[in-house]
């Protein structure tokens, strides 16, 4: 993580080396950078004004993966993508603080003293979602933060949760929507398409030979898988974007070849080249059909042609 050119890993004091003397800071995990998170960043920018730099302090790994590993949620986006989205939302800098057992075990006040333990840069304001909890046993809340800020003469601003259709917009709600296949609803709350990201690995090479539609087999590292099936997708890597046909499932037609595990394969409609070992982002745009078993590879090949035609229509390409 610390080797990424997009991430400042460590503590707020690392900002001093970037010439930042005064900072207003929003604190939280911000997984997915959904509409509620962007509301917090807008409030942060307003708080910072012209005198301070708006900075987001986030955490990686997700705190739940440290304090309750069995209940840790899959992250909606990678830390690098989180930084990109936060900066697009208005943050000038993003600091990713490594979350550890030691940090998790601190009392709320000790946690705050640890996070804000340096006079450089000068902290002028703290902004969080009103329900954000921190410290051992999640005992710290906005009252704790307000008292801490008052003792230091720091402005404190809790931001009211954002609602949509009578429910709070949250990362967990978005994960549930994606898991149940409600991609349009998830995209509405996120403000961007749900994503899968990871590394392209070797597969059976069946799609590129017998089926004449080579696929990239994705080892998913970040994102939430929707139900099995075929999806219209957009694939991003190397600063470019391509249209894609995504299949998620157990590929029942070729199970006789020993395929047993759930696979994530994407065929790029307008690209030819070697994708092995590349990191890619797959945007989930629309469900096309359920995965099903075909009587032969020839029948599957015909269906793939129909799928691609439908996907081109969804994505608006010829």
Tens of pLDDT along 89-102? 999 999 999 999 99
Q: Are residues 240 and 106 in the same domain?
A: no
**Higher-scoring residue by pLDDT: 73, 5:** 73
Q: Are residues 123 and 212 in the same domain?
A: no
- pLDDT score, position 155: 97
Q: Are residues 62 and 155 in the same domain?
A: yes
Q: Are residues 141 and 197 in the same domain?
A: no
- pLDDT score, position 206: 53
Ranking 9-13, 209-213, 245-249 by mean pLDDT, the lowest is 209-213
pLDDT higher than 80, residue 15: yes
CA angle 262, 267, 271 (to 5 degrees): 150
Residue 178 resides in a domain = no
pLDDT bin (cut points 50, 70, 90) of residue 295 is: confident
pLDDT higher than 80, residue 5: no
DSSP code per residue over 163-194: EETTEE--HHHHHHHHHTT-HHHHHHHHSS--
Closest CA to 193 of 233, 245, 247, 240: 233
Tens of pLDDT along 115-172? 998 777 999 999 999 999 999 999 999 999 999 999 999 999 999 999 999 999 999 9
pLDDT higher than 70, residue 197: yes
- Furthest CA-CA distance within the chain: 73
pLDDT higher than 80, residue 312: yes
Tens of pLDDT along 47-57? 999 999 999 99
- d(CA 315, CA 34) in angstroms, rounded, equals 23
Closest CA to 210 of 272, 274, 270, 299: 299
- Say which CATH number the domain at 149 has: 3.40.50.620
Tell me the residue length of the chain.
318
pLDDT bin (cut points 50, 70, 90) of residue 9 is: low
- d(CA 253, CA 51) in angstroms, rounded, equals 62
Q: Are residues 197 and 150 in the same domain?
A: no
Asked whether the whole model's pTM tops 0.85, one would answer yes
The mean pLDDT value for 254-269 works out to 73
Closest CA to 52 of 154, 158, 160: 154
Domain with 272 in it: 193-315
- Say which CATH number the domain at 286 has: 2.40.30.30
Q: Are residues 94 and 151 in the same domain?
A: yes
- Helices and strands, counts by H and E, the chain: 10, 14
Two structure tokens written together for 140: 């710290």
305, 288 Cβ separation under 8 angstroms: no
Strands 216-222 and 263-268: antiparallel
- pLDDT score, position 7: 65
| Phi, psi angle pair for 78, to nearest 5° | -75, 160
285, 269 Cβ separation under 8 angstroms: no
- pLDDT score, position 253: 55
- pLDDT score, position 199: 96
Calculate what percentage of the chain has a pLDDT beyond 70.
91
Residue 171 resides in a domain = no
Q: Are residues 25 and 142 in the same domain?
A: yes
Residue 139 resides in a domain = yes
The count of structural domains within the chain is 2
pLDDT bin (cut points 50, 70, 90) of residue 192 is: very high
Average pLDDT of the chain is 90
Q: Are residues 96 and 209 in the same domain?
A: no
Q: Are residues 221 and 109 in the same domain?
A: no
Give the domain-ending residue among 165, 185, 211. 165
- pLDDT score, position 284: 98
């Amino acid at each position: 993580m610390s080797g990424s050119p997009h991430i400042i890993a460590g503590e707020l004091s690392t900002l001093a080396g970037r010439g930042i003397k005064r900072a207003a800071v929003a604190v939280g995990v911000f997984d997915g950078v959904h509409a509620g998170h962007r509301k917090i960043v807008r409030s942060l920018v307003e708080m910072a004004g012209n005198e301070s730099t708006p900075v987001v302090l986030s955490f990686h790994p997700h705190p739940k993966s440290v304090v309750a590993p069995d209940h840790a949620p899959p992250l909606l986006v990678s830390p690098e993508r989180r930084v990109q989205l936060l900066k697009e939302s208005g943050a000038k800098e993003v600091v990713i603080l490594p979350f550890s057992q030691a940090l998790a075990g601190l009392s709320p006040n000790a946690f705050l003293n640890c996070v804000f333990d340096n006079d450089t840069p000068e902290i002028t304001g703290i902004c969080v979602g009103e329900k954000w909890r921190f410290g051992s046993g999640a005992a710290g809340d906005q009252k704790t933060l307000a008292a801490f800020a008052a003792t230091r003469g720091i402005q404190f601003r809790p931001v009211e949760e954002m609602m949509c259709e009578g429910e709070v917009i949250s990362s967990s709600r978005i994960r549930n929507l994606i898991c149940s296949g409600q991609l349009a609803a998830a995209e509405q709350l996120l403000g961007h398409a749900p994503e899968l990201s990871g590394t392209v690995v070797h597969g059976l090479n069946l799609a590129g030979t017998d089926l004449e539609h080579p696929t990239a087999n994705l080892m998913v590292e970040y994102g939430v898988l929707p139900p099995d099936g075929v999806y219209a997708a957009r694939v991003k890597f190397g600063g470019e974007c391509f249209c894609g046909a995504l299949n998620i499932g157990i590929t029942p037609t070729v199970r006789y070849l020993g395929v047993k595990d759930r696979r994530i394969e994407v065929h790029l409609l307008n690209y030819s080249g070697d994708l092995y070992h590349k990191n890619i982002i797959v945007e989930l745009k629309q469900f096309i059909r359920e995965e099903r078993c075909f009587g032969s590879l020839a029948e599957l090949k015909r269906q793939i042609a129909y799928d691609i035609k439908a996907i081109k229509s969804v994505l608006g390409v010829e």
